[in-house]
Structure 1
Amino acid sequence: MKISYKWLGELIELTETPEEIGTLLTATGLEVENIEEVESIRGGLKGVVVGEVLTCEKHPEADRLKITTVDTGLPEPLHIVCGAANVAAGQKVVVATVGAVLYPTGSEDAIVLKKSKIRGALSEGMICAEDELGLGTSHDGILVLDTDLPNGTPAADYFGISSDYLIEIGLTPNRADAASHFGVARDLKAVLDREIKLPSVAEFKVTDQSLTFGVSVENAEACPRYTGLTISGITVAESPEWLKQKLQTIGIRSINNVVDVTNYVCHELGQPLHAFDAAKVDGNQVIVKTVEAGTKFTTLDDLERTLSDQDLMICNATSPMCIGGVFGGADSGVSNTTTAIFLESAYFSPVWVRRTAQRFTLKTDSSFRFERGTDPNMPLFALKRAALLIQEVAGGQVTSEVTDIYPTPIQDFSINISYRNIDRLIGKSLGAEKIEQILTGLDIKLEEKTDAGFVAIVPPYRVDVQREADVIEEILRIYGFGQVELSESLSSDYLSDFPVNDPEKLKMRVSELLAANGFYEMINNSLTKPDYAALLGEQAEQSTVKILNYLSEDLSVMRQSLVFSGLEVIEHNINRRQRDLKLFEFGKTYNLINEKYSEKERLAVFLSGNTQEESWIAKSKESAFHDLAAVVSQVLAAMKIRSTEKQEADGTIFQYGLTLSINKKPVVTFGLLKSAITKKASVKAPVLYADFDWEYMLKQYDSAVQYREVPKFPEVRRDLSLVVDKKVTFEELRQVAFKTERQLLRSVNVFDVYEGVNLEGRKSYSISFILQDDQQTLTDKVIDKTMSRLIANYERELNAIIRK
C-alpha cells in the first residue's frame, strides 16, 4: 500500500521526517518497506535556473549554432553554445548549469550537463527546450519565459514543481482499517497523541431535487448499507494539477476529474465509491441484487463475463451496470459527454466481494478493501466528501436527497478485558490510566470499569479486534514492544486453551522417530500436474480441485495424494546420483466431492535404493517390503495404535501391499508402487511407499498411560510346523490362533517359510507361540491341551497338515 507523506500531513500534524514516521509505523505493525522521494518532474530540475541572454552572436565555425553569454545570477556570465533558432539577446530562459541532471521526455536515460567545447567554442551549460526538461514534448525551440524573477532563481520555483515522499507499507491482510491515509493517521494519532484533522463536510447541501432516483436493496446480506445521490450540471475534464499530483505520487493514473475524485476519496478515507453516468441509468432506478446465473456482462476492461447467482450486481431498471464492490461496467461509466452522475458509496459484505473477486480473478482497489472489511459507518461521510470535491473540480449541484439504506446497523464489538490478563500477556504492568489512554487513542471505548477490568467497545472497522487477546495486542503494539524490559528469566503466557493431545508435538515425535531411522523430511508444493489424477482412479479424476489463475499447466490443480510430489523428489535426487533414499512428508491433500471442498493431512513415507550401504563387513541390501513394514510398525507404536485389521492393499497404485485399519477405516496403506506410477514421474527404480491418514491417527491417539503388572510367572514357548495352501497368509494363521486361545496366548511369530517343488500349490510355515498365565505357572497338561486345540482348528479351518 502506498502513502503520500504530504497527504498524510494534511490529516495529522507531522513534525517528524519521513524516515522517523516509517520507524514509528513499523513499530506499530504497519511495516514500512520503502521510502522514496517523488517529484512532479523527475529529477526536480535541480541545477536548473532562470537566466537572461545578454549577448547572442553567430558561431564562426557553424551556421546553425550561436554563442551566447547568459546571466544566471553568478558574478560572471556563462558562455553557452545554443542551436535553437529562436534564441536572442534580452530573453529570459531556462538554463541547465554544469552538473545538472535532466530527464528528457520519452527517455529513461538521464543527461548530466558537463563543461565542453562545441566546434572550438566553450559551453558552460545548456539553454533548454520544453522536452529537454521533461515538461512536455515540444522541441521547436528554447523556452522563453515571461517573468520578472531575478536571474538565478531555481526553475523548480518558477514551474511550481513539488516533491513528496512515497511511503510503501507491506499491509497484512488483517489490517484493512489501515488501507488509507486516514487509517494510517489513526495509528499515528494513538502513538503521537495528536488529533486528526478530517476534512469538513459542513458545506454539503442539496440544491434541489430535479434528478431523483429510486434506490432499492434486494439482498441486504450482501449489501448491508447503500448510500447515493445525484449531481447535475458537471463538466467532465482533466483534473486540476493538485489532484493529479496526489494520485501520481501514489502511483494512480489520472483519468478525469470525476473518476479521480472517487479514487482520491478511496485512498484518503478507505471507502471505495463509484460514479454512474445518470443518463445511462434506465428508468432512473438503482437496484442492488443478484441476477440470473449465466447472464452476460461486459466490464470496464471490455471483457464479457458470465455472472453467477452469487455475484452482487448494481442494476438499473433493465440491466446490470456494475459488479458490486469489484468492477464497473463498460456501458455505465463516466465519459467526456457526461453531464450528470449518480454517486454510490456502500458497505458490501466481505464474503460476497471476496467470492466474486476470486471467481473472476479481479483484484481492484475497491475489492482489495471490501473483501477485507471496510468501515460501515464511513459511506455517508465519504459520499458527502466526494460530492463536495466533484463540485469543486467539475462544477454542478447536488440534485437529490441523500439515499441511505441501512436496515440493520452493524454494532460495535463488546469484549470483556481483565487487567490481570493484560499484565500477564504483556509481561509488564502498564497501569489503568496508560491502558485507557492507548485504547481511547485507538477509538476503543472503555465501559463498566472496575478494579479487575472493563468492557472494551471496539468500532466495527477493526475487524481484526474481536477477542481479549486482540485488544491486548493493540495495547502492546502502541505502547511499544521495545519498551517491555526483558526479565532475568524468559517465559511466555497465553489465553488460549490447548488440547490435551497437541498435534504439533505428536508430529514432532513421529518426525524425530523417522529422522532417527535415517529418513529426511520433504516439504513439497501442494500444486501439481492435472494428469496425475487419472492414475489415482476415476473418482479422483472427477474430484480434482482446479486452480482458476494458475501460472503453468504443471501447477494447475491441487494434489490428491502425496505420492507424485514425493516421486518427483526421488527423480530429482536419482538424477544427481543419490539413489539410496529414505524420505517422509507431512502434507495436505485436496478434493472436491459433491461440490464441497475437503482438505486432509497425511503422512507419506518413501523407500528406494538400498537400506544398507556396501562395506567390508556386509553386502549392500536393497530396500524390501518388510523394511517399510518395520517403519510403519514403529510409527503406529509411537502413536499408540496397535490393534489393527489387515487386508491386501488396493491395486490402483500398489503392485502389492497391505492396508491396516481400525473399525474398518484405513489407517495406513503401504507396499510397492506399480511401475506405471513411478514411470509417470520418470523414476525407473522400485519405490516402496506408505500413506498414513494422519488426521485419523490423531483421533485414535490416547494420551493416557496404560500399564500392567510385570508377570510373576514364566512364559512358555511352543513351536509348530504346518503345511497349508499357498494362498493362506500368516495373518490368517495368527487370527485363528488368537480366536482359539484368548487367555494364555501372548504372541504368535513366524520364523521360517518354505516353498519348494515337493510342495506344489502349498507352503510350510514354522510358527512359535508364547503362552503365559498371570495367576500361576503353566503345567504341561494345560500347555498340551492348548496346543491340541490350536492344531485341531488349523486342520479344520485351514486344511493344514501338521508336520511331526
Structure 2
Amino acid sequence: MKISINRLKKYIQLTESPEEIAALLTQSGLEVEAVEEFQSLPGGLEGIVIGEVLTCEKHPDADKLSITTVDIGAEAPSHIVCGASNVAAGQKVVVATVGAKLYPTNGEPFEIKKAKIRGQVSEGMICAEDEIGIGTSHAGIIVLNTDLPNGTPASEYFQVENDSVLEIGLTPNRADAASHLGVARDLKALLHRPICLPEEKELLIESSGPSISVEVEDATDCPRYAGLVITELKVGPSPQWLQNFLRALDLEPINNVVDITNFILHDLGQPLHAFDADKISGGKVIVKKLSMGTPFVTLDEKERKLSGEELMICDADGGMCIAGIFGGKGSGVSDQTTTIFLESAYFSPDVIRKGSQYHGLKTDASFRFERGTDPNMPVYALKRAAALLQEIAGGKVASEIIDLYPNPVQDFEVEVAYARINRLIGKVIDPKEVKTILESLDIRVENETEEGFTSIVKPYRVDVTREADIIEEILRIHGFQQVALAENLSTDYLAEHPVKDLNKLQYRLSEMLAGNGYFELITNSLTKPQYAEKSGFLDSALNVEIYNKLSEDLGVMRQTLLFSGLEVMAHNINRRQTDLKGFEFGTVYQKTSEGYQEGRRLAIFHSGNRSAESWIEPAKAFGFADLYATVERILEKLNVQVGEVTPVEALPFAYGLELKLGEKVVATLGLVDEKLLKLAEVRQEVWYADLNWDLLCKKASGLKRYQEISKFPEVRRDLSLVIDKSVTYDQVKSVAEKAGGKLLRRIGAFDVYQGEKIDSGKKAYALSFILQDQENTLTDKVIDKTMSKLIQAFQEQVGAVIRS
C-alpha cells in the first residue's frame, strides 16, 4: 500500500522527514518497507528556468539557426543558438541552463553543456514540449504567456510536484490503516497532534435527474447502502493535482469521474462505484444474489459464471456489478456519460472475500471490503465525492442521499483491567497515559475505577474487540522500545510448542536409508529365550515372558534388535544373497522391579561386500568406516551432534565405538562377535549399529546451521605423528581442535601405520590439516605459527613424536 506524504500533510502537520515518519510508523506496527521519491515530471525540471529572449539574429553560417541572447535572471544574458523557426525577441521561453539534465518524451535523458555551434557559443537550450517531457510537440519552442520574473524555475510554472511515497506492508488486521486518513490517525496518536478532516457540507439539490430507487434484499451481506444522482457531468481529464496524486500511488488516471472515486478510496478508505444512470434499467437498484451459473460480463470484457454466493448490484434487467469487487461492462462510465448514480456502501467482509476468491479478482475495493471498512463512512465519503464532482466535472446534485441502514453497527465495548495491562506489557503504565493513548486513537474510556475501565471502540477498528487488543494498542503507541528487558525473561505462550511427528521423522530417515541402498527389515518382537541365556551380554532375568506361548522359539519379548536382524542375515546368506544392507525400527522390552519397560531402537546391518567384483577392481568388503559413515549421516539428518566417542570391546562386539550425548549412550556400533554369529547361525562377518531412537527423537531438531562460504582460499598442511597405541584418534582430534583455534577448519587421517619401522606399542598417524581464515588470506607466517602450536600441543598432551 502506497501513502503520499504530501496528502498526509493535508490531514496533519508534519515537520519530520519522510524517513523519520517511516521509522515512527514502523515502530507502531505499520511497517514501512520503502520510501520512494515521486516527481510528476521526470527530473522535476531541475536546472530549467523561465527566460526572456532579448535579441534574435540569424546565424551567419546556418540558415535554419538563430543566435539569441536570453535573460534568465543571471548577471548577464546567456548566448544561446536556437534552431526553432518560431523563436523571436520579446518572447517568454523555457530555458535549460548549462548542467541541466533533460528527460525528453521520447529518447534517453541528456545533459546540457556549453558548446560551440557553427562557430558560435551556446550557453543552454531554448526548449520545445517534447524536449522537457511535458508533451509530444516538436513544432517549435514553448512560448509562455506569464508575468513570472526571469529566472523563475520552470517547475513552478508547470506545477511540478515532488512527493515522498511510503510503501507500507499492511498486515491483514489493520484494515483501518488502508487509507491516508487511517495512517494520519496513527500519526495523530504518535505525534500528539490534531488531524483536520475536511468539513462535511450539506449537499443542495441543484437540478432534476432520473428517479432511482434502491432496494436491499440481503441486509445481512449489505448492512448499509447509500447513493445519490449527479447530473450535467462533463467527463474528461482530471486536474493536474489529482493526476499527480494517483500517479504517486502507481495508478493511471482514467477520467475525472473514475479518478475521483479512486481518490476517495485511497484517501478515506471507502470504495465508491459510479453507474451510468441512463443505463440503469427500470430506474431501480437492487442489492441481491443471482442464481448459480448466471453469466455476467465484467469491465475487463470477460464473461464470468456466478457462483450464486456473491452479492450483486442489479437493475430491473439483471446484474450491473459484483458488489465490492468489480463493475460490469454494461453500466460503466464512458466519455458520453452525463448522469451517474454514485454508490457508497458497507458490505460484509465474508461475502466479498468469498466472491473475490471464487472469481480470482483482487481489486483495491475488494482489498478493503474483505478486511472490513468503516460502516460510518459511506455518507461522508459520498458527500466528499459529490463536492469534487461539482468542482472538477461540473456536476450537479440531482437527488437526496439515499441511505439504507436498518441495523446500525454498534461500537465495541471491551472491559479492561489495569493489572492485566501491566502484566501483558511487562511494565506499569500510568492510568492517565493509558487514557490519553486510547482517546488519541478515538477509543473512549468510560466507567473508570481503580481496577479498570470500559473502552468504547468504533466499528472501523475491526481488529480491536478484546482486552488483549486494547492492550496491544496501548503498547504500540507507548512504544515497544520503551519496555525494558527484565533480567529474568519469561513469557506467556499463546499456543503450545508444536509436537514432533515421530512418524514423519522415521519416514524421512527411512527414505534416506532406502536411497542409500538399504532394505528395511520388519521382524517379530517375539524371540528365542536362548539368545538371552547364551549370548553373555543379555540378562535372562529381564526377559518378558509370554504366558500363552505359540512355541518355545517365540517365548519371550526381545531385549535387542540384534538377533532378529541376524536371523534375517542368515536366511539371506543361506540362499546365496551374501551382500546385505538392512535397517530396522523396532521396540525392545525388559522386565523391571517396577513392571515392564520398552524403548524404540534403530538397528543397522552390513554384511558381505560393499561393491561387487568387476574387471576394473576386485570386490570390496564392508568395513567399520562404512558403518560409521551411515551413523554419521543419520545424526546429521537429525541435526544431532554427539559428544564423547569411546572404544568398546565388550559384547555384542568384537570391537567398536560408543557415542554419547551427555551421559547417555546414543549409539554403539562395530563388528559383531563370532560367538553371537554362531548362536544365530550366521557364517560371515556382520557389522551392526544400535541407535537409541527414543533419545534421537527427543534431541532431533529441524533447525540447520549455515554460514557464509569464505571468499579466501583454504591451505593444507600435513603432519606425521608417532604416538602410543593407547592414544585414540578422537584424543588427537580434540587436541588439534583446541590448539588450532578458529583457523582449523578440518582434520583428517589419511594413513595409519603399525609395524617393524617403529617401536612396538607405537603407531603412526599421517594427518591432514585444512586451515582457512574467514576474513583474510592466510600468510606463511600465520600458517607456520598455527602449525607450531599444533606440534607443541601434540608433543605435550599426547606424547607425540613428529616424523620429518
TM-score interval (norm. to shorter): 0.5 to 0.7
1:773 CA displacement = 11
Distance verdict in 2 for CA 1:481–1:65, change over 3 Å: same
Cα distance in 1 for partners of 2:213, 2:476 equals: 46
Name 2:626's counterpart in structure 1: none
Distance verdict in 2 for CA 1:758–1:429, change over 3 Å: closer
Cα distance in 2 for partners of 1:717, 1:363 equals: 67
Name 1:66's counterpart in structure 2: 66
- Report Cα offsets for 1:188-245 as digits up to 9, x if no partner: 1111122221111223234467533221111222212111111222222222222222
Name 2:435's counterpart in structure 1: 436
Q: Is the 8 A contact 1:283 1:316 kept in 2?
A: yes
1:335 CA displacement = 1.4
Q: Is the 8 A contact 2:48 2:94 kept in 1?
A: yes
Cα distance in 1 for partners of 2:169, 2:403 equals: 34
2:541 corresponds, among 672, 693, 715, to 715
Distance verdict in 2 for CA 1:450–1:94, change over 3 Å: same
**Residues 212-611 of structure 1: pairs in structure 2 closer than 5 A:** 212-493=211-492, 496=494, 498=495, 502-504=496-498, 506-507=499-500, 583=508, 606-610=512-516
Name 2:717's counterpart in structure 1: none
The reply to whether residue 177 of structure 1 matches residue 176 of structure 2 is: yes
1:715 partner SS: helix
Q: Which amino acid aligns with 1:507?
A: K
Q: Is the 8 A contact 2:543 2:556 kept in 1?
A: no
1:322 partner SS: strand
- Report Cα offsets for 1:446-486 as digits up to 9, x if no partner: 22222112222222211222222221111111111112223
1:136 CA displacement = 0.9
1:623 corresponds, among 518, 524, 534, to 518
| Aligned-CA RMSD value | 3.3
Cα distance in 2 for partners of 1:290, 1:155 equals: 55
Q: Is the 8 A contact 2:209 2:230 kept in 1?
A: no
Cα distance in 2 for partners of 1:773, 1:123 equals: 105
1:510 CA displacement = 8.6
Distance verdict in 2 for CA 1:715–1:340, change over 3 Å: same
Distance verdict in 2 for CA 1:453–1:54, change over 3 Å: same
Q: Is the 8 A contact 1:745 1:770 kept in 2?
A: no
Cα distance in 1 for partners of 2:41, 2:161 equals: 8
Distance verdict in 2 for CA 1:208–1:748, change over 3 Å: same
2:44 partner SS: coil
Cα distance in 2 for partners of 1:54, 1:228 equals: 58
**TM-score (norm: length of structure 2):** 0.65
Cα distance in 2 for partners of 1:411, 1:738 equals: 74
Q: Which amino acid aligns with 1:25?
A: L
Cα distance in 2 for partners of 1:254, 1:25 equals: 28
Distance verdict in 2 for CA 1:508–1:489, change over 3 Å: farther
Q: Is the 8 A contact 2:544 2:556 kept in 1?
A: no
Moved more, 169-178 or 233-242: 233-242
Q: Which amino acid aligns with 1:437?
A: T
- Report Cα offsets for 1:748-782 as digits up to 9, x if no partner: 987446769999xxxxxxxxx99979899xxxxxx
**TM-score (norm: length of structure 1):** 0.65
1:75 CA displacement = 1.8
Q: Is the 8 A contact 2:559 2:590 kept in 1?
A: no
Cα distance in 2 for partners of 1:333, 1:8 equals: 31
1:64 partner SS: strand
1:146 CA displacement = 2.5
Q: Which amino acid aligns with 1:92?
A: K
Cα distance in 1 for partners of 2:152, 2:207 equals: 50
Q: Is the 8 A contact 2:543 2:558 kept in 1?
A: no
Q: Is the 8 A contact 1:261 1:389 kept in 2?
A: yes
Cα distance in 2 for partners of 1:34, 1:389 equals: 31
Name 1:563's counterpart in structure 2: none
1:434 partner SS: helix
Q: Is the 8 A contact 1:425 1:492 kept in 2?
A: no
Cα distance in 1 for partners of 2:305, 2:241 equals: 40
Distance verdict in 2 for CA 1:509–1:433, change over 3 Å: farther
Name 2:91's counterpart in structure 1: 91
Q: Is the 8 A contact 2:179 2:268 kept in 1?
A: yes
**Residues 78-227 of structure 1: pairs in structure 2 closer than 5 A:** 78-107=78-107, 109-207=108-206, 210-227=209-226
Cα distance in 1 for partners of 2:573, 2:518 equals: 28
Q: Is the 8 A contact 1:209 1:401 kept in 2?
A: no
**Residues 27-38 of structure 1: pairs in structure 2 closer than 5 A:** 27-38=27-38
Name 2:549's counterpart in structure 1: 737
Q: Is the 8 A contact 1:190 1:438 kept in 2?
A: yes
1:71 CA displacement = 1.9
Distance verdict in 2 for CA 1:94–1:624, change over 3 Å: same
Name 2:4's counterpart in structure 1: 4
- Report Cα offsets for 1:240-263 as digits up to 9, x if no partner: 222222222222222222111111
Cα distance in 1 for partners of 2:489, 2:520 equals: 48
Cα distance in 1 for partners of 2:3, 2:591 equals: 79
Name 1:39's counterpart in structure 2: 39
Distance verdict in 2 for CA 1:738–1:208, change over 3 Å: farther
Cα distance in 2 for partners of 1:29, 1:152 equals: 46
Structure 2, gaps ≥5 residues long: 527-538, 576-587, 596-804
Cα distance in 2 for partners of 1:325, 1:458 equals: 25
Q: Is the 8 A contact 1:715 1:771 kept in 2?
A: no
Cα distance in 1 for partners of 2:71, 2:502 equals: 82
Cα distance in 1 for partners of 2:143, 2:573 equals: 112
Q: Which amino acid aligns with 2:80?
A: I
1:717 CA displacement = 6.0
Q: Which amino acid aligns with 2:24?
A: L
Q: Is the 8 A contact 1:745 1:771 kept in 2?
A: no
Q: Which amino acid aligns with 1:737?
A: K
Cα distance in 1 for partners of 2:590, 2:258 equals: 88
Cα distance in 2 for partners of 1:60, 1:206 equals: 68
Q: Is the 8 A contact 1:201 1:385 kept in 2?
A: yes
Q: Is the 8 A contact 1:214 1:284 kept in 2?
A: yes
Q: Which amino acid aligns with 2:549?
A: A
2:57 partner SS: strand
Cα distance in 1 for partners of 2:75, 2:118 equals: 26
Q: Is the 8 A contact 1:714 1:772 kept in 2?
A: no
Q: Which amino acid aligns with 1:467?
A: R
Name 2:613's counterpart in structure 1: none
Cα distance in 1 for partners of 2:461, 2:97 equals: 53
Distance verdict in 2 for CA 1:310–1:121, change over 3 Å: same
1:288 CA displacement = 0.6
Cα distance in 1 for partners of 2:235, 2:405 equals: 31
1:52 CA displacement = 2.0
Cα distance in 2 for partners of 1:247, 1:297 equals: 29
Cα distance in 1 for partners of 2:111, 2:488 equals: 60
Q: Is the 8 A contact 1:209 1:400 kept in 2?
A: yes
1:275 CA displacement = 0.7
2:186 partner SS: helix
Cα distance in 2 for partners of 1:245, 1:64 equals: 38
Q: Which amino acid aligns with 1:608?
A: A
Distance verdict in 2 for CA 1:771–1:93, change over 3 Å: closer
- Report Cα offsets for 1:586-637 as digits up to 9, x if no partner: xxxxxxxxxxxxxxxxxx9543344xxxxxxxxxxx42203xx69xx9xxxx
- Report Cα offsets for 1:100-150 as digits up to 9, x if no partner: 11111133x212111122223221111111111111111111112223332
